Amino acid sequence: MDAIILLLPVLFVLLNFVEVCNGGITSSFVRKLYASEDMPLSDFPPPPGYNAPEQVHITQGDLVGRAMIISWVTPLLRHPDYVVYWAAGSKHKKHKAHSSVETYRFYNYSSGHIHHATIKNLAFDTRYFYELGAGNVTRRFSFRTPSKVGPDAPYTFGIIGDLGQTHDSYQTLEHYVSNPKGQGVLFVGDLSYADNHPNHDNVRWDTFGRFIEKCAAYQSWTWTAGNHELDFAPELEEDVPFKPYLHRYHVPYKASQSTSPLWYSIKRASAYIIVLSSYSAYGKYTPQYAWLESELPKVNRAETPWLIVLVHSPWYNSNNYHYMEGETMRVQFESWFVKNKVDVVFAGHVHAYERTERISNINYNITNGMSAPVKDPSAPIYITIGDGGNVEGIADSFTEPPPRYSAFREASFGHAVLEIKNRTHAHYAWHRNQDNNAVVADDVWLHNRYYYPEEEV
C-alpha cells in the first residue's frame, strides 16, 4: 500500500505527459529518401518551330472569373503579339486580344518576349479555345470558365506549393493533372527555384514555365509569392526584389483595389480567395496592412461562403524547418481572421505536410500568460503544403512531442484537392506521392464557418 502511495505522484506526472502529448497523428509513412535534383535542362525542350509560343499559362483576369490573363513567351521575335479565342461551338465568332510585351535582364540573362493578354467578357461555365502563334507554329489550348459567383456554386481547387522542377515535382504535377476533378490551382509560393542555381540562372524560370504548361495553360493558377520569388542578389547588382516573378506572372490585383500584385483577392464560384505576401511589409500603416483591413469587410459570405487565405510562410507549423518564421504576421493578422471566420489558410515554405485543428492564439497581452493556442470554432484550419517536391528536399524533422493543435503531419511530397460542394460542405484531401501513385493520406469534410459552423470530426 505504501508503495502505491509513493508511486501516485509518478503516475500523476505520467498521465499529464500523455495528456500533453495528445497532439494528433504523426504519420509513420516513410518515403524513400534520395537526393533531390532539378531535372536536366534537356527534359524541358521548347516546342518545335521557329519562335513558337511557349511557357503558356493562364490566370483569372478580374474579380469574378469573367476574364482571363493569357501569358506566354516568344523566344526570338516580339510578334505575333495577340491571342485568338472563341467559345466552344462558335468557331465562326473568333475574337482577338493583343498582348502587352515585356522583356527583362537578370545578370547575364536576357529574357524572351513575355506576353500578357487579358481576354474579357467571357461567359460563365463555358469552354473556350485559344490560339497563340501563327502559321505552322500555331498552338491551341482550352479552358473552362468557373460558374457564376454564388453561394452554392461548386468548384474543385488543387493546392500545390514549393513545386520546383525535380522528378518529385514532376510526380506531384502528374498526379494532380491525372485527377479529372481539378478545375483551378491555388499555388502557395516558391515556383522555379532558379535562385538555387549559379547567378540565379533565369533559364530555370523558362524551364519551369515549360514544365507547368501542361496544366497551367488549361486551368487558372492563382499565384502567391514565396521567398524564392525574391531573387534579391545585390552581389550580382540585382537589387529589385521579385523581378523575374513579376515580369512573368501577372495577377488581377487592381480588381480588388490592391496597389501591388503581391497581395490581392479574387472570387471564384463560391470561394473568396485572399492572397498575402510574407515578404512584403505588413506592419501597421503599410500598404498591405491597409489593404487587408479594408478588404476583409468587403467579403460577403452570403455570396461567397468559403473564405480562403493563401500565404507562403505558415503561421502554425510544428516542423523544425522554418519554425516560427510566420510568427510576426500571425501576431499582426490572426485576430482579424478569427473575427471574420476564415475557413482555411493554406501556406507553403515548409517542405512537408501538416493540418491543424481549428485553433487561435489571440488573447495574450504580455501579463496574462494566455500564450498557448486554444480550440476556437471561429478560427481557420491551417494547412502547410510546401511539399511539391523541389530541389531542397523534404523537411523531415518535426518537433516532439507534437503540439496539441496539430491534427496530422507527414514528411512526404504531394498535393491536395479541395472540393467545394455547396455552402455548407467541402471535401479536402491530401494526396501523398507514394511509389509513383497518388494516395489519399489525409482527408476531412470541412464545415463552412458562416453557414454551418459545426465542429469537424
Write out the catalytic residue numbers: 322
Query: Does 231 contact Fe ion by CB under 5 A?
Result: no
Q: Enter the C-alpha cell of residue 150.
A: 454564388
Least distance CB 276 / Fe ion (angstroms):
14
Q: Which stretch binds Fe ion (CB under 5 A): 66-74, 112-120, 187-195, 363-371?
A: 187-195
Q: Enter the C-alpha cell of residue 301.
A: 459570405
Q: Which of 238, 272, 306 is nearest to 451 (CA)?
A: 306
3-state SS of the chain is CHHHHHHHHHHHHHHHHHHHCCCCEECCCCCCCCCCCECCHHHCCCCCCCCCCEEEEEEECCCCCCCEEEEEEECCCCCCCEEEEEECCCCCCCEEEECEEECCEECCEECCEEEEEEECCCCCCCEEEEEECCHHHCEEEEEECCCCCCCCCCEEEEEECCCCCEHHHHHHHHHHHCCCCCCEEEECCCCCCHHHCHHHCCHHHHHHHHHHHHHHCCCCEECCCCHHHCCCEHHHCECCCCHHHHHHCCCCHHHHCCCCCCCEEEEECCEEEEECCCCCCCCCCCHHHHHHHHHHHHCCCCCCCEEEEEECCCCCCCECCCCCCCHHHHHHHHHHHHHCCCCEEEECCCCCEEEECCEECCCCCCCCCCCCCEECCCCCEEEEECCCCCCCCCCCCECCCCCCCEEEEECCCEEEEEEECCCCEEEEEEEEEECCEEEEEEEEEEECCCCCCCCCC
Least distance CB 386 / Fe ion (angstroms):
6
Least distance CB 313 / Fe ion (angstroms):
7
Beta bridge partners of 38: 166
**CB nearer to Fe ion: pick between 59 and 227:** 227
326 residue type, one letter: G
**CB nearer to Fe ion: pick between 225 and 426:** 225
Least distance CB 108 / Fe ion (angstroms):
25
User: According to CB under 5 A, which residues from 325 to 364 bind Fe ion?
Assistant: 349
**CB nearer to Fe ion: pick between 155 and 208:** 208
Q: Which stretch binds Fe ion (CB under 5 A): 57-65, 148-156, 224-232, 411-419?
A: 224-232
**CB nearer to Fe ion: pick between 62 and 190:** 190
Query: Does 387 contact Fe ion by CB under 5 A?
Result: no
Least distance CB 78 / Fe ion (angstroms):
34
Q: Which stretch binds Fe ion (CB under 5 A): 45-53, 138-146, 219-227, 428-436?
A: 219-227
**CB nearer to Fe ion: pick between 107 and 279:** 279
Q: What is the dihedral sign for C-alpha 229, 361, 292, 329?
A: negative
How many residues interact with Fe ion (rule CB under 5 A)?
4
Q: Which stretch binds Fe ion (CB under 5 A): 64-72, 222-230, 334-342, 435-443?
A: 222-230
**CB nearer to Fe ion: pick between 54 and 354:** 354
**CB nearer to Fe ion: pick between 156 and 384:** 384
Site map (CB under 5 A) of Fe ion, residues 255-294, x = contact: ----------------------------------------
User: According to CB under 5 A, which residues from 111 to 150 bind Fe ion?
Assistant: none
Least distance CB 267 / Fe ion (angstroms):
27
**CB nearer to Fe ion: pick between 60 and 192:** 192
**CB nearer to Fe ion: pick between 230 and 429:** 230
Query: Does 190 contact Fe ion by CB under 5 A?
Result: yes
Binding-site member from 207, 224, 227, 356 for Fe ion (CB under 5 A): 227
Answer whether 157's CB lies under 8 Å from 183's CB. Answer: yes
Least distance CB 279 / Fe ion (angstroms):
9
Least distance CB 384 / Fe ion (angstroms):
11
Q: Which stretch binds Fe ion (CB under 5 A): 185-193, 212-220, 354-362, 396-404?
A: 185-193
User: According to CB under 5 A, which residues from 34 to 53 bind Fe ion?
Assistant: none
Distance CA 244, CA 233 (A): 12
Q: Which stretch binds Fe ion (CB under 5 A): 123-131, 182-190, 389-397, 419-427?
A: 182-190
Binding-site member from 133, 226, 261, 414 for Fe ion (CB under 5 A): 226
- Residue nearest Fe ion (C-beta atom): 349
The answer for residues whose C-beta is within 8 angstroms of residue 163's C-beta and 6 or more apart is: 169, 172, 173, 187, 190, 191, 208, 212, 388, 389, 390
Least distance CB 70 / Fe ion (angstroms):
28
Q: Which residues bind Fe ion (CB under 5 A)?
A: 190, 226-227, 349
